[in-house]
């Protein structure tokens, strides 16, 4: 099995000014162990988004850690 990544946003908060946002959630990362058996790791993430002058959103900062 090839690596797989699945994100699950839990909360998205947009600043009143509409130029910054926070995206909080979990993700599952599936990788093969040394024997080739798929293993799934659940993690939490936080992404701070900044709205650009052209209207596009760009990740300004992010972090993640183990869910347990």
- pLDDT tens for residues 25-64? 999 999 998 998 999 999 999 999 999 999 999 999 999 9
Q: Is 65 contained in some domain?
A: no
DSSP assignment, residue 29?
Answer: E
Task: Provide the 3-class DSSP secondary structure of residue 23.
Answer: strand
Domain count, the chain: 1
In a domain, 36, yes or no: yes
Look up the domain containing 43 and give its range.
4-52
pLDDT of 21 reads 98
In a domain, 16, yes or no: yes
Residue 19 has pLDDT above 80, yes or no: yes
Q: Which helix (H) or strand (E) is 39 found in, with range? A: strand 38-51
8-22: burial string, b at 16+ Cβ within 10 Å, e else = eeeeeeeeeeeeebe
Q: Using CA atoms, how far apart are residues 47 and 64, in angstroms rounded to an integer?
A: 9
């Amino acid at each position: 099995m090839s690596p797989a990544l699945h994100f699950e946003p839990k909360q998205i908060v947009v600043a009143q000014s509409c130029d910054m946002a926070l995206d909080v959630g979990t993700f599952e990362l599936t990788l093969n162990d040394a024997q080739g058996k798929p293993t799934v790791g659940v993690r939490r993430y936080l992404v701070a988004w900044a709205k650009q002058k052209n209207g596009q959103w760009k990740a300004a900062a992010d972090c993640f850690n183990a869910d347990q």
